[in-house]
Structure 1
Amino acid sequence: MNFLERSYFLLLLSLFASIAEAGAISSLKTFVQDTRTVRAAFIQTVLDKNMRTVQRGGGTMQFERPGKFRWVYEKPYEQLIVGDGTRIWFYDRDLDQVTVRKLDLAIGTSPAALLAGSSNIEADFDLTEIGLQGDTEWLEAKPKAKEGTFEWVRLGFSPTGELKAMELHDNFGQTTVLTFSRVEQNPKLSAELFKFSPPQGADVISD
């Protein structure tokens, strides 16, 4: 899984809400039911199997369910991921390269489906309460399908139900950690945020 693909899977998992519910699983289910749009800043850290940092980045994101999002990486490289409801566009500015995929094929039972898919989360994932660690309540989600690219996803909520952090452990032994700030739940977002046209001269790759 390359950096942009990993970022996309994490994208939809990084959407969160201020939810006054007891327990991380309850908070997740309430989020899926009640949250339509999100705007936030994020920091992303990728760790190898020995838990050493191999990459660190950050930026901003906006999201509108179902299937529309804009994920902007400001560092370490300028990259953009846009979902327009039917397709996902990955743009690497340094390479001047665009990759486009069908939205339904890209989501499937990926981590993105936890928050962007149907409200019937437990049809595709086994959810387990991990419990309180410090001031964070954690849950773990494991995909029921075995052909995916990740083993588990963990979501951490504050005592008031706001999602504070997310961890993804993939089949290559790497762990990606997202932390969030400047959270806005259900803001009004412009439709233009979720439109993308490849820059003139860019190399376009499609499935």
Structure 2
Amino acid sequence: MYKYLLLAALALCLFVGIARSEEAQDASAQLAGQLDALHTLAGQFSQSRLQAGPSGELSHSSGSFRLLRPSFFAWDIENPDSQLVITDGEYLWHYDRDLETVTRRPLRSEQTATPLQVLAGDRDALRERYTVSATGRGRFQLTPRGEDTAFRQLTLVFAEGQLAGMEILDNLGQQLLIEFSELSSPPLTPEDFHFVPPEGVDLLYHER
């Protein structure tokens, strides 16, 4: 009798495992479909960084962004400081206008993808690097499969087919909440993400 109960329990575990795997694949396919519809995207953003526990909000910033999938995005922080993060398909650039510094890293060698790179990425990278689950209507939670990651969890929020926000839990236990507004789908091209460092800035080029 015990043997049959054990076999039944193993069969149930196998069934549950298959069901969860199929559910994850379905959520990943749904998210990929939502992102595929966002070939180009531009708009405004407002982001707040929250400390774990009762400390509350640590910082708040706002600005504009534009996106051309795959591989191209620009994140332009306008307030309270002035910074630009942009990818041109080959490099990831970080231009700190206040400090007058430019940092460049090879995009293809990035081992720890940022949330923006996830947003601008392709189906294969999404499926291979993350476990995707649907946590509510229009909400998709991504959990990195590897240990060397830039965040613990990323939640993409959609409303009426449009990207409405992102919720990011980083490796320090801090939460970043991002809301998008004034969205449009302009006819962007890779040339719109071409970046040339301004004269006089300090340059920091990393080969990996």
Q: TM-score, normalised by structure 1?
A: 0.78
Q: Classify 1:143/1:77 alpha carbon distance in 2 versus 1 (closer, same or farther; 3 Å).
A: same
Match status 1:124 vs 2:129: yes
Secondary structure, counterpart of 1:198 in structure 2 = coil
Q: Per-residue displacement from partner, 1:133-174 (whole Å, max 9, x unpaired)?
A: xxxx3221101011112110112222x222212101011011
| One-letter code aligned to 1:31 | Q
RMSD: 2.1
Q: Per-residue displacement from partner, 1:23-54 (whole Å, max 9, x unpaired)?
A: 97565211333332111110011111126111
Give the deviation of 1:113 after TM superposition: 4.5
- Corresponding position of 1:196: 195
Q: How many residue pairs get matched?
A: 179
- Corresponding position of 2:67: 63
Q: Classify 1:196/1:111 alpha carbon distance in 2 versus 1 (closer, same or farther; 3 Å).
A: same
Question: Which runs of no fewer than 5 residues in structure 2 stay unpaired?
Answer: 1-25
Give the deviation of 1:112 after TM superposition: 3.7
Once structures 1 and 2 are overlaid, which stretch shifts more, 174-183 or 160-169? Answer: 160-169
Secondary structure, counterpart of 2:81 in structure 1 = coil
Select the structure that is richer in helix.
2
Distance across 2 between alignment mates of 1:24 and 1:182: 27
Secondary structure, counterpart of 2:34 in structure 1 = helix
Matches within 5 A, 1:5-20: none
Q: Is the 8 A contact 2:164 2:179 kept in 1?
A: yes
Q: What is the percent sequence identity of the aligned residues?
A: 31
Question: Which runs of no fewer than 5 residues in structure 1 stay unpaired?
Answer: 1-22
Match status 1:29 vs 2:21: no
Distance across 2 between alignment mates of 1:114 and 1:79: 20
Whose Rg is larger?
2
Higher relative contact order (CA 8 A, sep 6+): 1
Q: TM-score, normalised by structure 2?
A: 0.78
- Corresponding position of 1:184: 184
